[in-house]
Structures are given as structure tokens and as C-alpha cells.
A and B are shown apart, each in its own frame.
Chain A
Amino acid sequence: MSAAPPAIGAFERLQRRAFRTPLDGLVTLVFVAFLAWLAWQAVDWGVLRAVWRAEDAALCREAAAGACWSIIDARHRLILFGLYPFDEHWRSTSAAVAIIATVVLSCIPWFWTARRLVSLWIAGFATYYLLMDGSLLGMAQVTTDKWGGLSLVLFLFSSVVLIGMPTGLGLALMRRSRLPMVRLVASLLIDFIRSLPLLTTLFTAAVVVPILLPDWLQGDKIWRIIIAFSLFFACYQAEVFRGGFQAIPSGQFEAGMALGLGKWQSLSLIILPQVFRHALPATINMVVVTFKETAVVIIIGLFDLLASAQAAFGTGDWVAYYMETYVFVALIYWAFITSLGRYGEFVKDRMKQDEH
């Protein structure tokens, strides 16, 4: 078409979109009114009539009171740190910061070489463990059964993704192997794990394994859970990678061979970068789901964010204010998951640029 459509003003655009016919206009008005009412309710409850400070908790019982944020003021350390000893909370905070820093840094393209990434993650995890456990730094030891709250969720999440991602890639490669035995083992494992609910897998790792294994092989509950969870993640992620592999025409392998590249060279230089690109949206999805699924560990008695939130309102003084606690926890989850999603968009855009 030769001529561009005439530019229209914002008012005209609104009219066209929302008020084209009288019925359109009515529907728009009703929905806007409803949304405004909802927003007003939320602001009225959560801000205008809210009680903020722990000392004012008595005001929460008045009929006119809205949200009772006093519970967050009084109990936020329980929600964030679980059973971690009160005087050592700075260690839990620093450990959480170390994990977040590790994740954020590894999102920066400068770190995207194998050596930098590996050293970064080892450093991040070592910092976390040394701070949380403390015994190697000469501080009071805090055993893993006392780890909890947000820093536990971050730790679980990042270790699962960290262990699960390469394992998943390995499984996906095994599944494409030319050796029938390797292929069979990989497919059996993937299908078996994927046919079990996450809860069953974790329950088995936490509760049944100690009955079967000798003491010296059991290890700590938290490690058993991380290994089981990672395996679960890996099996799903392997299928995501498989989709990525299938999107690549086999001619590319042949092209690599024609260029005189070995099998592993053509894999790492030609195939894998494209696999990652194809698998990225589904991978981000897996990562987000995994972050939320860490809440399942509440069932096997780990004191994660949700468990400590329930402990926070599970006492006579605060039992009425579960809604406020859940809103607070939801905001924390929302902040992390939105950041993950935004980061996924960023990587996708960047990869698009690479294509040009």
C-alpha cells in the first residue's frame, strides 16, 4: 500500500476500540466501573483502613480496621527466615543475597562462558553454605533442619536448576545416542520419573530412602530432596531439550562433518546454541514452575516460605490475619517470578539480535 493510514488521536482510538456501538460502550463502562470498584476495595482494605505497626495490633480488632499489616511487622522475621536462630539472621540474609547476586550475575552476558559461569556458581554456593552452616567459618553451627523461609526457597530453587539443567541436557543427549542401551536407559528413566507426581518423588526421597539405605549413605534430608527434585526437573527439561534438538535439520550435523568438525565440536559449536534458542521459552516456563513448586517441600517438613508463613499466623494472637500473611508471601513470589519472566524476555531479545 502506498499511503500510510491517517494518524489518529488517542481519543479517537479509544472511541473506536471501546465505544464503537452503544452496546460496546455499555460493556466497557460496566467493566471499568467493576475494575474501579475492585481497585477501590483493595486500596481501602490494604492501605486506607490498614493497621501498620506491631504495637497497634489491638486496633486490628476494631470493626473499621482493614488489613492488619501488624502481623508482618511482628512476624516477618519468622516468615523470611523460618526456624533460623534469631541472632544469626544476618547470616541468612547475606546467604540469600549471595544466591540472588549469583543468579543476577549469571544473567549478565559477560559471564556466559563455561569457566566463568562454573566459578561464579561455585563461589555463590560456597558463600551460601559457609554462611548458613557457619561451622567452617568458626561461627555457631546451624544445621540444615533449621534452615527456612525465603533463603531456603532460593537455595532449593537454584540448586535444583543448577543440578537439573546439565543433567537434563545429558539425558537429552543420551536419548539421541546411537547406542541402544544408552538410549533405552535414558528413555526408561525419563518416562519413569515423569510418570510420578513430584510429591511422591520427594516423599520417597525424604521418608522412604532413610528406611532403605544404611546410615552412612543417607546424607542430610535436604540433600536427598535436592537430588530427587533435580532429577525430576532434569527429566522434564530433557524433553524440553529434545524438542530443541528436533527443530534442527539433520543437514546441520552433516555440514559440521563436512567442515571437518568432530562430533562434540559440531555439537557444542553449531547444534547446542540453536537448541538453547529453541528451548528457551519452554525452559523459562520450567524454571518459573520450579520456583513455585519448591513450596511442595512443606509436605515433607521443610520450613519453606509457605510453611513459615503458616507458622506466622498459627498462633492465638495472629490467627485472624492469614489473609495479610498470604498477600505478603504472594508479593514475594510475584517479585521473583516476574523478574524471572522479564529476564527470559531479555535473553530472547538478545538472541534475536544475535541472529542478525
Chain B
Amino acid sequence: MTMKRGWIAAAVAVAGLSGIGTSAFAESETLKTVQERGTLLCSGHNGSYFGFVEVNDKNEWKGLDIDLCRALTVAILGDPDKNQIVPLSWAQRFPALQSGDVDVVIKATGWTMGRDTELGLQFSIPYFFGGAQLMVRKELGITTASELVGGTVCVAAGTTIERIVADHLKAENVEHTMVSFEKTAEVIGAYKAGRCDAYAAWGPSIAVLLANQFEDADAHVILGDKLSAEPIAAAMRQGDEDWVDIVNWMLAALIKAEELGVTSSNVDEMVANPPNPTVARLLGVDAGMGERLGLRDTWAREMIAEMGNFAEIYDRNLGEGSPYKLARGLNNLWSNGGVLYTPILD
């Protein structure tokens, strides 16, 4: 493996030095396996995870993460259904990735140092940002977490949220009591029953709950303090950099398409009449998009036609088109006040 990589590196160096027009084509092991198998193996959930991995009334998977898996499937195999979503628990997702039960984990997974180093994983560019936030009753008149002196905070046990909130309140010198419960439903029950002053959870989840589980949604407020910003990214096995490239450019193409105004409805017009060279490159009108990744030149065009751009996928699963109506916020393009950006498409 190292040997082969060494040769590729040498070849690149030589090509660069001597100006020979060869390039190192992608040679991803995982890509080869997926193409031979004819099926992409993605991570599902053992249950539902709001907006990201859910099951609809027809017993089919849906959600933001599922749509990203389907987009990746189109990019590689040309058909969104040529994948298998393997139900995995949270604890099982990384062992399953290592043992080859899945090709990629796209499952609301935060990019942490431990996972990156000790677990032998590598992460894609982040496609979502979410952090711990607090919800309180409006009648308390609290606007920031630092005013929560002497209050009780309800939180789900054993999550990163528990630690993040504790650290944050300690740093702010806010005396508080932490009450933890095993299940999200129990935490919410306790908060509703008035056993705690604040409910701490992942920001997007609170918004989801507030919109759907509270008859008196107006009586509660989600505090502005973002106690953390967790970058959510796809996780892959260490050692197949070309595979990471493919997943990265799948995400980048979806975000780029939004930036360039390419949607599932206008993609055909754009192909017929590309408004600028970047669009032409993205949609495979000009060559170069596919070869360098080991894919077809038209992969991004097919992917956008089938799944839409990032905005459409977000809207369908978390935004206005979903029961959650979650505002884009941080998860908007950099040009619209968010933090999503793409590498340069040259």
C-alpha cells in the first residue's frame, strides 16, 4: 500500500517536474469494491434520528444523511437506489466501518480528534454545524446561560452535551444542578413537568421538539448561546484518500450547485447553455469533473438532477419542506451568513 502510494507520489512529482501531461488518476480501493459490488453500503440507524435518518410510512429510509448517501450513490453508480442502508446503532457505526459492513458513515457524526486519530478514521468536509443549546421558559426572563444561577438543567445522560453544558456553566461560574435521564423523551417529560429550569440538547433537536412537542411553544425560548459548534461530517476508513476525495467532492458539488444556482429543475437548461465555465465544468459539459476522481464526467449533473442541490436536500429534510422548519442559520452558504463553503473547482 505504502509502496504503491510512494510510486504514485513519485509519478506525480516526475510529471510535475518534467511537464509531462500525465496525471495520477484516482485509484480508490473502496470505489473499486463499490463498483464491483454494484451497491454502496451506507449507515442507517436502529430507529430514527430526527431529520437525518428516519423511516417513512412506506418502510423506506429518508432524511438528510440518507439523501447524501443517495447522492453519493448516483455519483458512483448512476442510480440513487443502488445502495443498501445498514441499520447501525451509534456505538456500532465505527466498528462496522472498520470491518467493511459499510463503505461510509454519514450519520450525524461529529468530527472529533479522538475519532480522527485513535479510531483510525478520516472525515470529509463538514456539511452541517450544530451545537449544544439551552431552552428555558420565557417567564424566567433569562436571555443568556450565565443568568441561570441556581437553576436545574435537564440533559440526556452520557452525551457530549452533558459535558459541554457542565464545562460552559462552570467556566461562567454559574452554580447549577444537572439532572440526567437515559432517554430524550424522559428529559423532555421532566422539563415539561417543571422539574428543571432549562433543557439542554443539540440545537437542531431542540428546535424540532419545540415545533412539534410543545402545545405552548410560545412560552419557551432557545437561548442564543451556542455552547459548542460541532462540525458534522462523513467518516471513512483511514488509508483510502482517494475515497475521501470522492465523498468531499460529492458534498462540494452539492454546495457549489447551490452557490451557482443550479437546481434539479434547471440543470438541463444549464447543461444546454452553461452560463459560465465553472457551471460547465461542474455539470460535465467541459471534461475534467469525472476523470480525476475515477467517475463519469457527468456524475454531478446526474446527482443534481436526481437529488437536487444542497439547499433542496436541506429544505426537504430539515427546512421548510419538513415538519421541523429549521432555519439554515450557520448551515447556510458563506455568502448568506452561514459557514458552508466549497474548495475551488478548477
Contacts and interface: CB of A to CB of B under 8 A. Distances in A.
A356 B58 CA distance: 56
A319 B87 contact: no
Contacts of B47: 298, 307-308, 310-311, 314
Interface string A295-317: 00011111100011011111111
B123 interface: no
B92 A316 contact: no
Interface stretch (A74-82, A117-125, A234-242, A271-279): A74-82
A310 B48 contact: yes
A243 interface: no
A346 interface: no
A54 to B, nearest CB: 9
Interface stretch (B94-102, B152-160, B230-238): B94-102
Contacts of B218: none
Contact of B46 (A207, A307, A312, A316): A307
Contact of B212 (A145, A308, A319): A319
A211 B98 contact: yes
Interface stretch (A36-44, A83-91, A129-137): A83-91
A78 B56 CA distance: 8
A45 interface: no
Interface in B201-252: 208-209, 211-213, 215
A63 interface: yes
B57 A207 contact: no
B57 A77 contact: yes
A303 B98 CA distance: 21
B64 to A, nearest CB: 13
A288 B94 CA distance: 33
Given A311-B48, A315-B323, A320-B213, A86 B58 contact: yes
Of A83, A206, A302, A316, the most chain B CB neighbours within 10 A belong to A316
Contact of B100 (A81, A210, A316): A210
Contacts of A312: 48, 55
B185 interface: yes
Contacts of B54: 311, 314-315
B86 A301 contact: yes
A343 B5 CA distance: 65
**Size category of the binding interface on chain B:** 35 or more
Contacts of A352: none
Contacts of A263: none
Nearest to A306: B47
B221 to A, nearest CB: 20
Given A311-B54, A317-B323, A303 B46 contact: yes
B346 interface: no
A301 B87 contact: yes
B191 to A, nearest CB: 14
B128 interface: no
A312 B57 CA distance: 8
Interface of B: 44-51, 54-61, 84, 86-89, 91-92, 95-96, 98-101, 185, 208-209, 211-213, 215, 322-324
24 contacts: A86-B59, A143-B84, A208-B95, A210-B101, A211-B95, A211-B98, A299-B91, A301-B88, A302-B87, A307-B47, A307-B87, A308-B55, A310-B46, A310-B47, A311-B45, A311-B55, A314-B47, A314-B55, A315-B50, A315-B55, A316-B211, A319-B50, A319-B208, A319-B212
